[in-house]
Amino acid sequence: MGSFPTSLLSTFLRPNSIPFQHQPPRRPLAPPTSLPQPSACRVFSTRIEENQPTVTTTRRPKRKWLKKLISSTRKHRSKSVKEDQPLPSMIFKVFDDIIINFIDPPLRVSVDPKYVLSHSFSPVNELPPTECEMIEGTLPSCLDGAYFRNGPNPQYLPRGPYHLFDGDGMLHAIRISKGKATFCSRYVKTYKYQTEKDAESPIFPNVFSGFNGMTASIARLAVSTGRILMGQFDPTKGIGVANTSIAYFGNKLYALGESDLPYAIKLATNGDIITIGRDDFDGKLLTNMTAHPKIDPVTKETFAFRYGPGPPFLTFFWFNENGKKQDDVPIFSVISPSFIHDFAITKNYAIFPENQIEMSLTGLIGGGSPVRADPRKVARLGVIPRYDKDDSEMKWFEVPGLNVVHCINAWEEDHGDTIVMVAPNILSVEHALERMDLIHASVEKVTMDLKSGMVSRYPLSIRNLDFAVINPAFIAVKNRYIYCGVGDPMPKISGVVKLDISLSEVDRHECIVASRMFGRGCFGGEPFFVAKEPKNPYADEDDGYIVSYVHNEITGDSRFVVMDAKSPTLEIVAAVKLPHRVPYGFHGLFVRENDLTTL
């Protein structure tokens, strides 16, 4: 391999370093083009710039491709690219470009960066702590603390296929103190992020989009193996992006992604976000962990799990109040690799939804994704006592057609003989990962009789709802109110609705009792509930505020909005103008000031 001439290697190094843009709306990013064609948006360990888009293709030249590659060696080099690239790096970039231009099948929409990173999904630069302008009302005193939102924000323009789930995690935090707000956006400094930053190139395999047809997948695996053997990265230090959610437990704050360990973070007094590092909990958490741990508000214990492609396909575990991890509980009754993204807990149980989405080589051989819905599979719910040492007492309930990805809450009734769970059911599960814009999710109430094994279910709303939250004080116990994002389409959220579950107990009809649409061209993210008096046991369940980031795609403005959770219109009581756009993302969390001081 050392005999490769540098002139040939430079054929593949088509740099055009380009800065992120802050001003939306943004034109779609063009995917990497075939080398024989001129390119306005070229790729090499680069960041992102907006040039006039060009028509691109993912088809392979039928012949004489090497001659065409050699003919394009005299490309302009960007000033941002290192002139002294190590030879191994240059070689692997050659192989990357061969895969992209001549082996990859045509990109599906779900993994085409031209579409995935277009408009308000496009990445932004980091932003240091910046004071914000109040544009409406005043910030309530109970909001002293910080609201965080996690989401994907790729450090480099993807070289080849890219799925929304693969972007580097970026936290967008607004710190509130005495009615004033400071906003900050920072990458989670994962091992992947830092390694690629130092290399000035994307070198890690993508977890969700790296598998793009059997031949290309084998080729990418070979390249990744070569990078590992040459010491470019060490997979034992983590390949995750920590881009999904954020959680506070054991007096620590974590950025989470289900393909890796949690990353501890903290918020400085000036509002800056600092990554402390990857946490293995004293060596007791060796691999990955869910991005949706559940914290019992009474016991302060945290329950979590992990899933993977090899047995045991599901493993359950928990942490005590101080964040000390307890022993793993392998769930051997899950007999195939399933996509179990979330779960729920009650006072005595944990509930796992095994949906129809699973990992299979069938789709990969056909040039598609290895993660897809199996229409022959029957969805089911697994219930396990939450302190059991094994899964011998676990009960499974088959529930055809119930495809749960996110869980809202669960509780026990009838002296513990009945479990009730509320969750969005994805009615179009075949689009769950490939075409999120075609997803329709209906919030359902599911009742399981632990003695008879009977299951009943019915919808609480016919609206397309997901990214739902409740008052955190009611996790694992019966709650009345749910606050859901309105998909228009998913994952863009055009408004928030409030559901009253108690209405379903009288008459099974639409349970929406309040709503707030953000307006034409305006989209937000997952709402979050903040109680006015969290320590008042007599406070009403809905006595608090709903907070979210909202972006106006017409004007380009972004806001942090505060809505009155009791109001029938979810009235906006305060709005803060943000200094830059927050790309659409995933899950958030509000952390109170007294908890921030413990970090």
Binding residues for Fe cation, as ranges, are 292, 341, 406, 587
For residue 8, what are the contacts with CB-CB under 8 A and spacing of at least 6? 69, 70, 73, 94
Q: Strands 263-267, 558-564: parallel, antiparallel or unpaired by DSSP? A: unpaired
Q: Strands 558-564, 409-413: parallel, antiparallel or unpaired by DSSP? A: unpaired
- 60 is written with which tokens? 């392979």
Q: In the chain, count of helices (H) and strands (E)?
A: 9, 33
In angstroms, rounded to a whole number, what is the distance separating the alpha carbons of residues 167 and 208?
A: 10
Bridge partner residues of 319 (DSSP)? 302, 325
Q: How far is CA 386 from CA 302, 303, 382, 506, in A?
A: 11, 8, 12, 31
Helix axis angle, 87-98 to 214-229, nearest 10°: 180
In angstroms, rounded to a whole number, what is the distance separating the alpha carbons of residues 385 and 299?
A: 16
Length of the chain counted residue by residue: 599
Pick out the residues of the known binding site. 292, 341, 406, 587
Contact by Cβ (8 Å): 252, 319: no
Nearest to 199 by CA among 85, 78, 34: 85
For residue 149, what are the contacts with CB-CB under 8 A and spacing of at least 6? 171, 172, 173, 246, 525, 526, 549, 582, 585, 586, 587, 588
Sign of the dihedral through C-alpha 119, 121, 122, 123 = positive
Q: Which residue has 């293995």 as its token pair?
A: 280
Q: What are phi and psi of 267, to 5 degrees?
A: -115, 120
In angstroms, rounded to a whole number, what is the distance separating the alpha carbons of residues 208 and 163?
A: 6
Region of residue 556 (phi > 0: left; psi between -120 and 50: alpha; otherwise: beta)? left
Q: Which residue has 């990214």 as its token pair?
A: 467
In angstroms, rounded to a whole number, what is the distance separating the alpha carbons of residues 597 and 112?
A: 42
Nearest to 570 by CA among 493, 517, 492: 517
Q: How far is CA 510 from CA 85, 340, 405, 461, 518, in A?
A: 61, 28, 22, 5, 21
Bridge partner residues of 500 (DSSP)? 481
Bridge partner residues of 445 (DSSP)? 422, 458
